[in-house]
Homo-oligomer: A and B are copies of this chain.
Amino acid sequence: MIRDNFSKILREAMSEDSWLISEDQYDAKKNLQFESLFALSNGYMGIRGVQEEGNHPSLPYVYINGIFDKSETFMRELVTLPNWSELKFYVEKQLLSVERCEILEYRRALDLKTATLYKHVLLRDESGRESLIESVRFLSRENVHRMGMKVYFTPLNYDGILEIESSINGSILNFCDAPRFKVKHSVVTENSAKEDNIYLEVETRDDLLHIGTGASLHAYENGEEVLRNRRCSAFGEVALEFADCKVKEGKTVEILKYVSVFTEKDCERAAIRPSVFKELESFRDRGFTEEHRAHKKVYDTMWKRANVRIKGDFELDRAVRFNIFHLMSTASEYDDRVNVGAKLLSGEEYGGHAFWDTELFMLPFFSFVFPEKAKRLECYRYRLLDAARKNARKNGYQGAQYPWESADDGTEQCPDWTIEPDGSCYRCYVAKYEHHVTAAVMYGAYKYAETTGDTDFLYKEAAEIFVETARFWASRVLYNETLKLYEIREVTGPDEWHEPVNNNVYTNYLVKWCLRFVSSLITEMKDSREAEYRSLCEKLHFMEEEAETWKEISDKIYIPKKEGTKIFEQFEGYFDLYEVLIEKYDKNDWPIRPEILKTMSVTETQLIKQADVVMLMHLLGQEFDEETIRENYNYYEKRTLHGSSLSPSIYAIMGLKIGDSSKAYRYLRRAALLDLWNIQGNTREGIHAANTGGVWQTVVFGFAGLSLDENGELHLQPHMPKEWEELQFSIMHRGEATEITIKGDNSYTIRKREANEV
């Protein structure tokens, strides 16, 4: 039992083990991994699971979604903000930390059910004093500007004076552990200390956007405030509150740190400071416990919608929940200026940018479970349609081309140059050639509308996206007079190990579908949605001939295929590459790189990074017969190294579709445990966001076989693995919370929930 270590009061507050992710012993080598795993987000802010007292190594990052800065780097990246989690305890100048003391007991646990991080450490310092330190941390989901920590401090074998330091540390850097890449995206503009609180305001360097953080410290014993000698100091970039209190053997002192953050995106600059202090006051007035209770209530509601229960498979059950937790926690339900970054708000890799990952991996989850969050993601793209237009123009195309990497302003944030570990710059061609994101955005808007039934969005905002992206593709294709076909040359598909190529099937086929869909939607609108049609034509200067052109391109786009088979050729010339098949798997069931790659570049082989043709079939299953899917799956599965976390879940789903359930189960495990077990070795950089969505899709679209038919009717075709006794999850279907329960024998029930259940 994970909770066993914790003292009674925390044990009672914590959820059951199937909701707890725990770190059972302190191992500095795993610090960064657990910082990612234990990251908390309330949709507004994210903080990695750093230790309050500081340790090494650590990437002590706090992010607010949507706060980006470029400065001297290659791209606008998520700005790490002042770290408000610092809370240090000293007795006679000795820092009570896992690094400086002997650790007698240690456990941290992330409670998925309540989005709360619990900690239990029993430390023995150099003087033999034993201190029990237990803490609770949460970022309120009810009031997103409130963050707090509560520490139960108990001296076990001594009386003494506890010295407490609470700080807001503005001396933060992005890439702080990478000497070559360290960068400071903010400048401290105010560091002020009042009698009983500290406040630090920073300004981003490019946009001069202000972010204010305030905190105040309190401590109680038996309900009495016990802090003495409080002193708030402004130490350069650090705002520090010091206080002490007497502690007695066996008596617990409760120490509270209330935090509040506002930015210039939340209010006027002049209002930041007052907002922070007003919020701090309200937070204190309400009290930590009451706020925590309200926060837990919000999570309770969220989980009623989002929970997936897998009976009979404890480890996977919890792992799936873990992935859902991070995904649902990060997305915002009210802010359409933000998306969900490739590492959520749990790490700095990819700069917090949104990729096609959003539409193809995460959006289905949100559309089915949190349509209001899905809507925000769609609005984000629509809001940046104009930037996509400019992007197309810049690259010599028409319509709207969405950037491969999108931050806050919709400009292309995928750098043209990157730096090698040896400091040399090299040209990065991803943004130049990898254009399928624009199809993904279009496809995502369509799927969102289809899933949620948001026709209002479909015929207005989405229709604009459709027309403009169709225009992009029409300007992107080239007509080949010899073949009498349209081609897309010099392009990169999902498999980035071959770049650029000509006529990537994934891209070409998606474009084919997009153009066909858009022209038929136009026709439909003209017929039955006259007002919206007229508005669209007016706004976008749309002319009917355009739709005819799109239809023609769609009909005549080149889709390379192996002659006499149903196997698509990933791109022109792929079949001529050196054939290598994957034969060995490691202990995590991950493919082992074939030996040949030591002497041959992967680009010369048929080995691919991730689902490409198979991804296409996942997205547009209705376009292909089962035999085609099977043949392509079998062919490409043996050639896919899963160099991206976006790959296994897709293979799992598609495997199930063609009856390969044993592999699917292995793929799901790999995907669900990817970060928990640090399978790719890079969990330190943050949680793999697309993968979290892929895990949900694998369970719901794969094992449950859920789909909506063209009338929006719910269909299930379960493929329950032998390990599972029962699978239960919920979706929003036609505005109603719908609970699906599948038994081990694939029999299932679909139940509309009562209003009071949701």
Binding site for B on A (CB under 8 A): 56, 72, 88, 90, 92-93, 100, 161, 163-165, 170-171, 173, 177-180, 182-184, 187-188, 228-229, 233-238, 240, 242, 244, 246, 421-423
Q: How far is the CA of A92 from the CA of B161 in the complex (A)?
A: 43
A228 to chain B, nearest CB (A): 6
Contact of A421 among B92, B170, B188, B238 (CB under 8 A): B92
Contacts of A184 in B (CB 8 A): 233-236
* Cβ contacts under 8 Å, A180 to chain B: 163, 229, 242, 244
CB distance from A517 to the nearest CB of B (A): 47
By a CB distance below 8 angstroms, the chain B residues around A93 are 177-179
Q: A56-B100, A188-B236 are in contact. List 14 more A-B contacts (CB 8 A).
A: A92-B421, A93-B177, A161-B421, A161-B422, A163-B180, A170-B236, A171-B237, A173-B235, A180-B229, A182-B233, A182-B235, A184-B236, A244-B423, A246-B422
Whole-angstrom distance from the CB of A178 to the nearest CB of chain B? Answer: 6
| Contact for A90 among B161, B179, B242, B422, CB less than 8 A | B179
Select the residue from A88, A171, A179, A421 with max chain B CB neighbours within 10 A. A179
Cα-based distance from A303 to B238 in the complex (angstroms):
45
Give Cα A422 to B242, complex, Å. Answer: 13
- When distances are taken between beta carbons in the complex, the residues of chain B under 8 Å from A179 are 88, 90, 93, 163-165, 242
Known: A171-B171, A228-B423. A242 touches B161 (CB 8 A): no
Give A744 to B228 CA distance when docked, in angstroms: 63
A171 CB, min distance to chain B CBs, angstroms:
5
Closest B residue to A183 by beta carbon equals: B233
Using Cβ atoms and an 8 Å threshold, which residues of chain B touch A244?
Answer: 180, 422-423
Question: Which 5 pairs across A and B sit closest by C-beta, in order of nearness?
Answer: A229-B423, A184-B235, A236-B237, A163-B179, A161-B422
The answer for the CA separation of A244 and B173 in the assembled complex, in Å, is 20
Selected A-B contacts with CB under 8 Å, 30 pairs: A72-B233, A90-B179, A93-B178, A93-B179, A161-B422, A163-B179, A163-B180, A164-B179, A171-B235, A171-B236, A171-B237, A171-B238, A179-B242, A180-B229, A180-B242, A180-B244, A182-B242, A183-B233, A184-B233, A184-B234, A184-B235, A184-B236, A187-B236, A188-B236, A228-B423, A229-B423, A236-B236, A244-B422, A244-B423, A246-B422
Q: Hey, which chain B residues are within 8 Å of A72, CB to CB? A: 233
Residues of B within 8 A of A246 (CB): 422
Query: Which residues from B are CB-within-8-Å of A164?
Result: 179
Chain B, Cβ-Cβ closest to A171 = B236
A126 CB to closest chain B CB (Å) equals 8
Whole-angstrom distance between the Cβ of A96 and the nearest chain B Cβ: 11
Q: Would you give the shortest CB distance from A245 to chain B, in whole angstroms?
A: 9
Shortest CB-to-CB span from A62 to chain B, Å, is 16
On chain B, the residues within 8 Å of A187 by CB distance are 236
List the B side residues contacting A170 at CB < 8 Å.
236
In the docked arrangement, what's the CA distance between A423 and B171, Å? 28
CB of B240 within 8 A of CB of A182, answer: yes
- Kindly state the separation between the CA atoms of A464 and B644 in the bound complex, as whole angstroms: 85
Q: Which residue on B lies nearest to A28, using beta carbons?
A: B100
Residues of B within 8 A of A163 (CB): 179-180
How far in angstroms is the closest Cβ of chain B from A357?
26
Q: When chains A and B are docked, how far (Å) is the Cα of A182 from the Cα of B241? A: 11
A92 CA to B93 CA, complexed, in Å: 35
A83–chain B nearest beta-carbon distance, Å: 13
Nearest neighbor of A100 in chain B, beta-carbon distance:
B56
Q: Which residue of B lies closest to A184 (CB)?
A: B235
Residue numbers in B under 8 Å from A422 (CB-CB)? 161, 244, 246
**A161 cross-chain contacts in B, Cβ below 8 A:** 421-423
